[in-house]
Amino acid sequence: MSAHLQEKRLGYALVLGSLAALGPLCTDLYLPALPEMAGDLNTSTASAQLSLTAGLLGLGFGQLLFGPLSDRYGRMRPLLWSLALLLATSVWCAVAQDINQLIVARLLQGIAGAGGAVLSRAIARDLYNGHELTRFFALLMLVNGLAPIVAPVLGGAMLNWINWRGIFAVLAFVAILLFSFSSLKLHETLLPERRSQGGIFSMLGSVFSLLKHRPFMGLCLTQGFVMAGMFAYIGASPFVLQQIYHLSPQMFSLCFAINGIGLVISAQVSTRLSRRFGEMALVKAGLVIAAVASVALVIAASLNAPLVTLLVPLFFSVMVIGIIGPNAGSLAMQSQGKNAGSASALLGVCMFALGAIAVPVTGFGSMPALSMGLTILGCYAIAILMFVTLVRKNA
């Protein structure tokens, strides 16, 4: 690949990766400000956390809106609509006067953030195929994988100078920047002759047709349940590591960062291996590693093992997401061309909807570390089941 094409590819990865990172950015940036926000709005912690739930729901189901829209009207118009909505809703969050206003604004903000997530994958599918698509997905994960690591730390640092309203003002500024960069750096990648025809029922029909596509749905659910395991880890690990193992916030951030870096590195290595062994082989290998690591995690948690004994299988349980995620997502998207927007939407819905279910499940039981481990193991076990029954049997 020439230096010019490599530079162009990296430029696209940065812009599209930033769009894909809108989800975790909207979710994680304001987390350190939740207690302050609850006090300022005179509401309970549980009510304040509903704003997080609303954002996750918006991120999941908003992809069902922007995916089919992009198949009908092209990629750029829905993308710019979503960024304009993100700007408006971020301002609304910043000026909300009570928790009910904030929850509604957060739901709409999540829907807006979903546009960036679904369209970044759809644009990548328009531009690339095969191993190149897998490599590009890995670049997206490299950029996107840093967002959940950096966002909470950045949000906590920002609270030294601004309050929670200021954080949403920063998100509004981010929306302006991304609107500008998208307008300047991206171009329409879905030509008119390749767009789906018809109205809203035709767009919904493309989604329903994908639901009946067993190999695609198998890969979609495989990736979705693996990502649900990651959400279970994100939701439970602060309580497990800080309150059960008594790590300081700084040490917890270090552990969180190490696991995140492991995920990003595994994504990059797996894309190089995919050229030699193929994406399907790597998904199979990743699922085997996921099974072994999550079983070891449950054993360590059930025995109240020392911290290091818990952290090792936890690292591999998170790292394996970088192997399965890009390869399963690439295989799913490679099977779709004209319906790439709808396909990307279903991939996103599976990730966020299943993740939203997995997070509260980790709260059951009297042993938080064991609950986290069992939830991750359960998610990975269902992912293996989906792969075996829907993908391998229909390959």
Q: What is the mean pLDDT of residues 359-378?
A: 87
Q: Where are the domains of the chain?
A: 16-128+149-195, 213-395
* Helix (H) and strand (E) counts in the chain: 17, 0
DSSP, residue by residue, 88-130 = HHHHHHHH--SHHHHHHHHHHHHHHHHHHHHHHHHHHHHH--H
Nearest to 301 by CA among 377, 247, 370, 249: 370
Four-way CATH pick for 16-128+149-195: 1.10.510.10, 1.20.1250.20, 1.10.357.10, 1.10.1380.10: 1.20.1250.20
Q: Collapse the DSSP code of 27 into the 3-class scheme (helix H, G, I; strand E, B; otherwise coil) and give the result.
A: helix
293-329 pLDDT, tens digit per residue, is: 999 999 999 999 999 999 999 999 999 998 998 889 8
Cα first-last separation, the chain: 32
Exposure of 331 in the CB half-sphere (CA atoms within 13 A): 28
Identify the band that residue 205 occupies on the pLDDT scale cut at 50, 70 and 90: low
Nearest to 372 by CA among 271, 161, 231, 212: 231
Identify the pLDDT of residue 1: 47
For residue 33, give the DSSP letter. G
- CATH superfamily for 213-395 is MFS general substrate transporter like domains (1.20.1250.20)
Identify the pLDDT of residue 49: 67
Identify the band that residue 374 occupies on the pLDDT scale cut at 50, 70 and 90: very high
Identify the pLDDT of residue 289: 96
69-128 pLDDT, tens digit per residue, is: 887 788 889 999 999 999 999 999 999 999 999 999 999 999 999 888 888 878 877 877
Identify the band that residue 383 occupies on the pLDDT scale cut at 50, 70 and 90: very high
